[in-house]
Structure 1
Amino acid sequence: MIRLVGTLVSLLMLAWCGSADEGFVANEASCAELGFVIDALQCSTCERLEQALHGREMVDAFVGKCNLCCMENENKDGDAVYHTAVLEVHTQIATHRFPEIGNFLKDRARKFISSGKLKVKNKWNHHPELVLRDKNGAKASTVNVQSWKSEQLEEFLNNKVG
């Protein structure tokens, strides 16, 4: 079973990536075609992907394209892209259904809330997502964060909101 999954992963990467020499241009459409959400992909995720897929066919091409799509490469000057973020989540169930989000709310959210970067909005029966707002307060983007680790959420807020 494990061997079958490994083979499937290799075939998917081959289909998605093609040759590493194709002259891939990272933009929202080309990254989405590979399954990457350019506004949410963190380069640390690409590093973990490389570790998890180590030794598989086409890993270098796939991870290379991941690195081209990730947010640190997109935003090299360090300027924040969004003015504020709203974490919309059902806070009462977050600790049970989404323990990493619960940990973030308990241990890390306070510094972002006090700085004005983040607001937490309790939404009944709602999966965790970040609503990113521009300097006028208009909704600019929404990112599903239900499977993110608390460290990833903190990294994203540090790099993309301010």
Structure 2
Amino acid sequence: MPSCIDLKWVLYGIGFITADVIARNLCIAPDSEYRYRAGIVHVLGEAAEDGHCFLPQAELVEQVVKRLSIKDHQPNSGAIAKLLVQMGMSEKNQTWGEVKRLSIDEISQHKRHQDFVTVVSDIDRGKLLEVIDSHRQKDIIQALKQQPLEVREQVEEVSVDM
């Protein structure tokens, strides 16, 4: 029988629900961090396929809970939210690497509200780089200046939708 680490290779190409059922039957607890991370990545992947570059945290947590709910287990939304913060912080304070084209967009964190964040993405790699907790110009400039000068100077194009 394959170990859980090997399971990801064996299950490549099958649906998330089927992979989740097999993983739970072999070795993954319904409330494991590994399963919650997989659910987060899966929901974000589905959103990206639908053309989104960002999901508000509350909506993401809600969709992950819905996707991972099974008859005998209701995922802990607080644990998922905490895990999202940990996942985000693990990449925080890292430089963007070689970015040629940036996308800067504002999005409301809640429908029909004025609580905007600014999303900065690498267009070529389809990678989220920053979520700035504001849409004010001075806050965006301050956040962008956190990147080293050599990283900022290699940006050739910026697409802004604000």
TM over 0.5: no
* Bigger CA radius of gyration: 2
Q: Structure 2-normalised TM-score?
A: 0.31
